[in-house]
Amino acid sequence: MREGQVIVTGGSRGIGAAIAADLARRGFAVVSLSRAGTSAAGRGLACDVTDEASVAAAIRTVADKGPIVGLVNNAGAHVGKPSAELSAAEFEETLRLNATAVLVGAREAYPHLRAAGGGLIVNIGSFFDKLGVPGSLAYCASKAAVGAITRCLAAEWARDGIRVIDVAPGYIETDLNRDFLTGDKIRAWLDKRVPVGRAGAAEEVARLVGALFAEDIGYLTGETIYLDGGQGMNH
């Protein structure tokens, strides 16, 4: 078992569950935060990341058990709607979960990571952060904010030994979207649009995140690493 605990938000299912399982496989003590409070691996704690008090309380509970050396801000959601019908409240709701919660989680973890002598924060962004996607204005804006938050925190906390990296996936197959992504029409579209010719697996995102923790590359910080089968850079 490695020293210290790694917190994964949204570790109850989907990409977060795969990340929790990969980190546990590599010997990290994992604690998942989700509203359900369950975890694919390690311990699960109930927490709503859109509620600052809930995040602060959960991180205090984790810290009471021992040092915290990492945080994966993974919890997030996509709600599609035509921009002409998008209310300010709906826009802000998406920003609150996908972007504000990244700041709040990082801010609450910061004193503990510093006390542990440094650590790693991985934020799960999206390759939509640099694309114009019809019906996805709030999601795209929130994921662009994740890239900006990552760069600012990386610059601010580097001297504390804390590195911050944005892992930005493309289309990733999870339990929730498997039926959609494996349909004939979308499969043909992915085959044409994605150089690698398919959707990604949650385990591929998890292996990248796990490797970033395990390899501990001290000179790598502030970057957005795209894991999208080449879709975002494809002509």
User: What is the binding site for ligand NAP (CB under 6 A)?
Assistant: 9-10, 12-16, 34-36, 47-50, 74-78, 97, 124, 126, 169, 171-172, 174, 176-177
* Position 78, amino acid: H
Cβ 131 vs Cβ 81: under 8 Å: no
* Closest to 163 measured CA to CA, from 124, 196, 121, 129: 121
Cβ atoms 217, 211 nearer than 8 A: no
Nearer Cβ to ligand NAP, position 160 or 203? Answer: 203
Between CA 43 and CA 48 the distance in angstroms is 16
Residues 6+ apart with CB under 8 A from 13: 34, 40, 174, 175, 176
Kindly list the catalytic residues: 139
Compute the least distance from the CB of residue 180 to ligand NAP, in Å: 10
CB of 70 to ligand NAP, least distance (A): 17
For residue 205, what are the CA distances in angstroms to 64, 65, 143, 158?
30, 28, 16, 24
Three-state SS at 186: helix
Residue recorded with tokens 């952060």: 129
Retrieve residue 154's tokens. Answer: 């990386």
CB of 140 to ligand NAP, least distance (A): 11
- The number of angstroms, rounded, from the C-alpha of 145 to the middle of its chain's C-alpha atoms is 13
| Least distance (Å) between residue 160 CB and ligand NAP | 25
- Identify which of residues 76 and 119 has a Cβ nearer to ligand NAP in the complex: 76
Residue whose CB is less far from ligand NAP, 16 or 42: 16
Of residues 49 and 116, the one with the C-beta less far from ligand NAP:
49
